[in-house]
Amino acid sequence: MSDKNVLLINPWIYDFAAYDMWSKPLGLLYIGGLLRANGYKISLINCLDRYNPELLVYQNLITPKSTEYDCGKFHKEIIEKPQILKDVQRKYGRYGLPIHIFRNELKKVPKPDIILVTSGMTYWYPGVFDVISEVKGYFGDIPVILGGTYATLCYDHAIEHSKADYVICGEGEVKALKLVQELIGGNISFIPQNLDDYPYPAYDLLTSKNSLAILTSRGCPMGCTYCASSIVAGKFRQRDPIKVVDEIEFYYKAFRTKNFAFYDDALLLKPDEHITVILKEIIDRKINCNFHTPNAMHASQINESLAKLMFNAGFKTIRISLETSNITRQKAIGNKVTPEILREAIINLKKVGYKGRDIGVYVLICLPGQPLEEMMESVRYVHECGALTKLAVYSPIPQTKEWDKAVKYFGFDLNADPLLHNDSIYPLRLNDITIDDIQKVKALALELNKEI
């Protein structure tokens, strides 16, 4: 055991809206798990912890207000909107722990030898910068390593502006371990060779384990033009399905975890050797939990027998991607689904017992050049299939195939600041489509969803 302390930090979200839908700092905790397996002592400050005891006292609550599946609102404090987002007529806020509680957390953790900070959405970087500035102010000259989605997709920006001492791109477990060892010493005794080798994420550090995230694979082979999965998560690889269920069972028994959210980009691919095995094993081992798929699944794999297994295994929140009902655009952006395939998947899900309200279909709006009527039509199509529409507003992500097209279409310097990746901006910047038009799409979805 090394006597070196590593502090892991999951920063605040700075945005117009944010909701805790099984949001866990999974990547950071994977890194924590590997560092611990190599003898380092780890601690965590999770700015997005709704269960933080001091936060609950501050909010006058005994437990956070949560849905039956452990989702809920983050604490929000209104802060000044960055100048570049001034035309968005919504209140901007810091989501998560109030700053005084964060500072108290800094006092409570063992003095770190090194600090590892993760980052989520690219446009949440101000929360990351504030964390870095806080820890530098409090601990002084301790090295800070930054990684995560923002660090990977906006590497140059992070190097130039974050004030982190080191910025790491992409999958971080082994890179972080080697850098930590180089900077503060310690012995590397174990380097994982593949996904099945990774120690479990250090979930014991979370205050609440009522819900946890599970990753059965990394990456995605689909290459959709708007998505950065392959850049952030690398080549598509699946874990041994039995080991996935061992992990779920471990949390179920050790922490009594009741809700699991799959974070996979492509949970259903190669179903016979992967998800089918996972589902059968969950059923055989009588793991009585709720499973959720907030990141959406591929409709093409949902036949009746898979739907039945999902139902019997306890899959509760079903999310599927359609993106658009326009076949030409579907082919151009991902070619992973057609309206007919979606309809079939919904029929199969309903045959085995799911209700329309259990099934949410993601519809992507505000794509460059997408006509208003196409957005409306997609919403109507999902309704006709008997499921809920879940609207997702497109926002350009650097390094994706859609990026250059978006830069041309939106006509402003998207490279100027990652804050411009925030999806709240795009309904305001479409050619020939007004914000009122987009409100009509949202209103239509709301109205039709009520009928499901």
| Residues binding ligand B12 (CB under 6 A) | 18, 21, 23-24, 26-28, 30-31, 116-118, 121-123, 145-149, 152-153, 168, 171-173, 175-176, 215, 227-229, 232-233, 263, 265, 294-295, 392-393, 397, 421, 423
CA angle at 200 for the pair 197 and 206, rounded to the nearest 5°: 165
Q: Which parts of 296-412 fold into alpha helices (H)?
A: 304-313, 327-333, 339-351, 372-385, 402-410
Measured from the CB atom, is 173 or 417 closer to ligand B12?
173
Measured from the CB atom, is 387 or 414 closer to ligand B12?
414
> What is the dihedral angle through the alpha carbons of 61, 94, 257, 194, rounded to the nearest 10 degrees?
-160
**φ/ψ (deg, to 5) at 349:** -65, -40
Measured from the CB atom, is 343 or 394 closer to ligand B12?
394
Measured from the CB atom, is 24 or 258 closer to ligand B12?
24
Beta carbon of residue 261, minimum distance to ligand B12 (angstroms, whole number): 8
Q: What is the rounded distance in angstroms from the CA atom of residue 284 to the CA atom of residue 81?
A: 52
**φ/ψ (deg, to 5) at 393:** -85, 130
Nearest to 32 by CA among 21, 41, 23: 41
Beta carbon of residue 174, minimum distance to ligand B12 (angstroms, whole number): 9
Assigned token pair, 126: 């101000």
> What's the Cα-to-Cα distance from 264 to each of 88, 250, 257, 261, 395, rounded to whole Å?
32, 19, 19, 9, 20
Cβ atoms within 10 Å, residue 146: 28
Measured from the CB atom, is 115 or 343 closer to ligand B12?
115
**φ/ψ (deg, to 5) at 234:** 80, -165
Measured from the CB atom, is 15 or 374 closer to ligand B12?
15
Beta carbon of residue 211, minimum distance to ligand B12 (angstroms, whole number): 12
Measured from the CB atom, is 158 or 278 closer to ligand B12?
158
Nearest to 448 by CA among 375, 395, 393: 375
Beta carbon of residue 351, minimum distance to ligand B12 (angstroms, whole number): 26
Beta carbon of residue 342, minimum distance to ligand B12 (angstroms, whole number): 18
Beta carbon of residue 273, minimum distance to ligand B12 (angstroms, whole number): 21
Measured from the CB atom, is 121 or 342 closer to ligand B12?
121
Beta carbon of residue 252, minimum distance to ligand B12 (angstroms, whole number): 21
Nearest to 28 by CA among 12, 41, 11: 11
Beta carbon of residue 197, minimum distance to ligand B12 (angstroms, whole number): 13
Residue where the block lists tokens 């070619």: 335
